[in-house]
Structure 1
């Protein structure tokens, strides 16, 4: 039966384009309350059991493996006749908590399961996928620590020839779209064994997503991979509960309501209220409503809609008479909101949001931007609703995000018996990614920065999950005592953002209701705890440990947070910076920063002033290394020119320049694809964003960042002339690039002197620099060199 309900304030949803439907199996009802109360049995659990509280599986009697086995021979040495779970990964197997396959493998081992590893199998046949035999429970498939496409191709779609996660560093050891290929081979090897997808590649492709490499919207990876279930995010909770459920004889379908999982269904589950968000424009004028895109905290939901004459639930009588019809046979009633008094509340656990279908978002980029906006607003595990998206005749059902791990659980995960070295099968071959992190420590997970070009939040969440001091110090001691080659220097105490350790909302209730995309943009939220004292105390404890001579902080730093705690900056600069500190302003111009959700440059100046003062007090000569992104969505030519002038004025010479990389599921990728801004209300009439999409345009933006490189000067001159800025060509202060040298004169065979030809490189650059279709005159926001920032003070 379908009961139409009046929409109330549902957080960030566009209420004018949202139909509220209660879809239940059963007879007609006079009152909605009994239905809502009975939904508790099928709602998503908010309170998760402790990760290590489950009864251990019987196979725990085999004990802890030195390394998780990668061959039948190793299994036999352990006394195993089979594996309960086999993890297939695109990375070399390193038994270290920075490698996903090791974390999941050791966690499942601690639950009592026998776990095998198939690392970087030959995907051209199913033979390698059968090497460990048939798993008793399931195959776990991951592309590895990196998305296989980003691992293989640069931002400009050039093929990479190296792979940091492979022994010897050689590229080509995993296929493109590894999750899909590995999953299909697992099914080819053992068609009756469930396949469970996980890792960042699967996580960021859980619904229809724009694919930069093929320049089209692709289906959910769960469908393309023909897998049984997808676990997204840091999936410890989901994989433990799934494993114990399957071991108890349940099927994957029986476990459809696990948080942090994605399933394929023929229709939505019974007993849920549907919020139809498949449209962004509503025909006609409707009652004046609050801004549907406000980040409201009120999660109360639905008023009981009564027929004013019968005082009965306003359901279509034909539907009531045929309550056993399937959903596809029923046409939902679209209800215009009515000003009735709120009597019932709708909880997130009993609702789902219907996104525009795959067919719609594949053809309509504005709908794609709308769907992206809704997805990102449903990322708080305490108030997120389930999402559903139709793909042909099937439904992709996305459960709410997993409940974050508590500190004791984080300690338990990082305290598992890792060997902290690569598997012996690799011999003396170097694994570059391991060499980078072997003396480093993750102290936290998550990021509440909300940068639109980054997918960390979509994967790990906004709520910071931190380890205790004791756990971190124990790991330092383990590195000191166990890891070959350690000389007393810890290379990093960090995470996605090193100075977010133990920083969260001051109020649990506010955090549970919040739908903001960032806690620090456009300004730092007044409810955010910015006290870095626990981080400062950790640094001091680490420095005092026996055998530890130096502790560096190499992870990214959020400097707008750091300036809120000068004592932290003093501690960092005095003891933990080895001459250079990398930070990421990303741009200087507000027009572009607003599309990135990054702070303005005034905060950068505040931090630099603090950094310089504390460096001087410590008697150290130290420098900031700023990072910038070129060709970001919304960044116009004049923005890049002003950034280039800022770099010149401040004598900053950027060596490594990154063009914007449209990674799956990020908000900036939605901007790139749709030319809409999903940070604002999305409509078909929304002002289009300028996108530097053309290859030559992206190259020109990158060239402007490297103004100091003589190889870029010919192309830079062409670009400045194209923009009508020849005044910036010259050698006077404030000018960007020197003029071209006069061609040398040479004598011909008869002694006459003639002008030499133009240098070939300059000719080629001039040809390439012709105005492309993607280029257009920049908006007149400010004149030459009138950047929105001031000169950096030295």
Structure 2
């Protein structure tokens, strides 16, 4: 680790406060993650923004919440407010597998140790602060707070929960990526306005007494959701709520949302418009050390940091709108991209790291190849309410040019200290298939693929078709599997041209809403036919603020309110998962018996047949066909 003055980091201890000559602090941040001063870690970003606005800020990382609350008290009462986040992940996703088994490690903790944050960390931390300092405002944010801002289904308790503001007792919630609302809140706080009285800032949520009239701001119209109490009784009403929230979250000129929760009204202000390039640069160009805090030196490395320390994030947001994914729900549908100048500046910073050996692990983003993609006519985007720009088809108004990204890859390649820069983030392969993406006017997609495959693949390329069943893919908001086949053809063609052998690794999900057991058997058979022997599979986890979570709980699609079947029992989920491992001897008998029971012996034969025997049978069939054709020709003569 670099030897640098401790004052280069935000203060994490009382001693560091004293070294700065401070008597007190303005803001204290409480985080479920260890403190890594890097733009990929939310606490560092928020802390640096607060610092850049002239406030004294300190961090309490992974405080002891069990039996000794001195971590919450070590900096005393902050002048303005406490900021609370569970960390980079929802604490329940961080703690538990899809089967609700406790995970044995935590990637955001030194040494990967588990047990350093509570379940529902945002709520636990906030309740403790409200007991210790009842008159100090608490602002909550991060993905856990953001995606639990309205009535939501909690998979781990198997019940509907109210807004996290109600459970936690927090005064204010910032949802989504928090830079814009935070800067506005800080500006108002600096003017002497108490944090817990602010109501006119975009992208915040708060509770107020139901008998208190809504204040009028900025000409906002208001849309009311079914109350939390109604949702508890009526799953269809709950599903209908989701559509409103998703549509309003993705609109440029959105409405304010309200929901009754007992004797209170939840108010969710419209989001800010997507950050411009200059705003993105301002956030990423803050004076991060790009290192974990030195106090963790003896406890071991932080796995999440080790994964990203030689990577950089070029953009935010995702216009895919996949039903099971929270990226667009939290980061937004529209892409916010950094400038080339800012990105190349970070490349130089990475190159200066004493452990750097010349290899950048990831030039990426939520979806690696969406950099600088946006609507050609932004006035059309302003009116759009679609949750996805590429489902069921790619919008004709979407500029899907890969040219800016290809040029950026080449610039990074030209840097004298860079030997290789890999793309580790997921690539949206459907944007690279001409049959699906009709916007490829100048062939720049082909140029991008050539550049990607020949220069930026680290041994193998990961893509996520997610399924092979068109019915399931439709519910997932993903394209037909035939486009994956076309992408693979193109990928193999480029590899053959350059004499390369970099495997394509497809990712799939089992037990997703709309997926039946036979669909999983067919998935296994189709992928086997393509030469894949899948080694891992992601079991579906219903996470708050996703279409798939709503279907899982309510049994209906929130946009159509039509019933959709979902595997829910452990036995149903296990049955779907097993087909991935058709090549294991202990699974084969089960598969055969199961598919015979499901009246699909044809699938069993296809899935379990010996590949060599299949090849021999195909040759025999071809010979037979050829012989028959020769006989017919002879007869005609």
TM-score normalised to the size of structure 2? 0.91
SS in 1 for 2:431: helix
Aligned-pair CA distance for 1:82: 1.0
CA contact (8 A) 1:588 1:601 kept: yes
SS in 2 for 1:379: helix
2:351 is matched with 480
1:704 is matched with 579
CA contact (8 A) 2:240 2:559 kept: no
Aligned-pair CA distance for 1:272: 5.7
CA contact (8 A) 2:32 2:121 kept: yes
Task: Flag the structure with larger Rg.
Answer: 1
Q: Distance in 2 between matches of 1:383 and 1:261?
A: 16
Higher relative contact order (CA 8 A, sep 6+): 1
1:469 is matched with 340
Q: Give 1:85's match in structure 2, choosing from 16, 27, 40.
A: 27
2:436 is matched with none
SS in 2 for 1:493: strand
Query: Does residue 139 of structure 2 align to residue 196 of structure 1?
Result: yes
Q: Give 1:421's match in structure 2, choosing from 288, 291, 297.
A: 291
SS in 2 for 1:500: coil
CA contact (8 A) 1:138 1:193 kept: yes
Q: Output aligned runs, 1:59-98, within 5 Å.
A: 65-98=7-40
What value does the CA root-mean-square deviation take over the aligned residues?
1.7
Query: Does residue 306 of structure 2 align to residue 435 of structure 1?
Result: yes
Q: Output aligned runs, 1:447-466, within 5 Å.
A: 447-466=318-337
Q: Distance in 2 between matches of 1:65 and 1:442?
A: 26
Aligned-pair CA distance for 1:605: 2.1
Residues 114, 271 of structure 1: CA spacing in aligned structure 2 closer, same or farther, 3 A cutoff?
A: closer
2:198 is matched with 255
CA contact (8 A) 2:280 2:338 kept: yes
Q: Distance in 2 between matches of 1:735 and 1:468?
A: 49
Q: Distance in 1 between matches of 2:85 and 2:37?
A: 16
Query: Does residue 591 of structure 2 align to residue 716 of structure 1?
Result: yes
CA contact (8 A) 1:591 1:639 kept: no
Query: Does residue 632 of structure 2 align to residue 736 of structure 1?
Result: no
1:325-368 CA distance string (max 9 Å, x none): xxxxxxxxxxxxxxxxxxxxxxx943111100001112211111
1:678 is matched with 558
Q: Distance in 2 between matches of 1:572 and 1:427?
A: 36
CA contact (8 A) 1:532 1:568 kept: yes
Q: Is the deviation greater in 175-184 or in 649-658?
A: 649-658
1:482-513 CA distance string (max 9 Å, x none): x2311000000111001000001111111111
Q: How many residue pairs get matched?
A: 593
1:591-633 CA distance string (max 9 Å, x none): 1001000001222122212211222222211221000000000
2:252 is matched with 382
Q: Distance in 2 between matches of 1:219 and 1:175?
A: 19
1:522 is matched with 392
SS in 2 for 1:193: coil
Aligned-pair CA distance for 1:271: 6.4
CA contact (8 A) 1:441 1:493 kept: yes
Query: Does residue 219 of structure 2 align to residue 266 of structure 1?
Result: no
Query: Does residue 13 of structure 2 align to residue 110 of structure 1?
Result: no
1:243-282 CA distance string (max 9 Å, x none): 2212321123542121110010124644669xxxxxxxxx
Query: Does residue 506 of structure 2 align to residue 635 of structure 1?
Result: no
Q: Structure 1: which 5+ runs fail to align? A: 1-62, 274-347, 739-794
Residues 364, 138 of structure 1: CA spacing in aligned structure 2 closer, same or farther, 3 A cutoff?
A: same
1:191-231 CA distance string (max 9 Å, x none): 11100000000000000000000111001001100010000
1:750 is matched with none
TM-score normalised to the size of structure 1? 0.73
Query: Does residue 574 of structure 2 align to residue 574 of structure 1?
Result: no
Q: Give 1:556's match in structure 2, choosing from 426, 430, 450.
A: 426
Residues 735, 424 of structure 1: CA spacing in aligned structure 2 closer, same or farther, 3 A cutoff?
A: closer
Aligned-pair CA distance for 1:713: 3.1
CA contact (8 A) 2:173 2:204 kept: yes
Q: Distance in 1 between matches of 2:424 and 2:105?
A: 23
CA contact (8 A) 2:80 2:195 kept: no
Q: Structure 2: which 5+ runs fail to align? A: 434-439, 611-637
Q: Output aligned runs, 1:338-377, within 5 Å.
A: 349-377=219-247
Q: Is the deviation greater in 596-605 or in 246-255?
A: 246-255
SS in 2 for 1:238: helix
SS in 2 for 1:129: helix
Q: Distance in 2 between matches of 1:64 and 1:468?
A: 31
Q: Is the deviation greater in 462-471 or in 185-194?
A: 185-194
1:364-423 CA distance string (max 9 Å, x none): 111111111111111235121111010011000011112221101111111111111100
SS in 2 for 1:187: helix
Query: Does residue 160 of structure 2 align to residue 217 of structure 1?
Result: yes
CA contact (8 A) 1:506 1:527 kept: yes
Residues 735, 405 of structure 1: CA spacing in aligned structure 2 closer, same or farther, 3 A cutoff?
A: closer
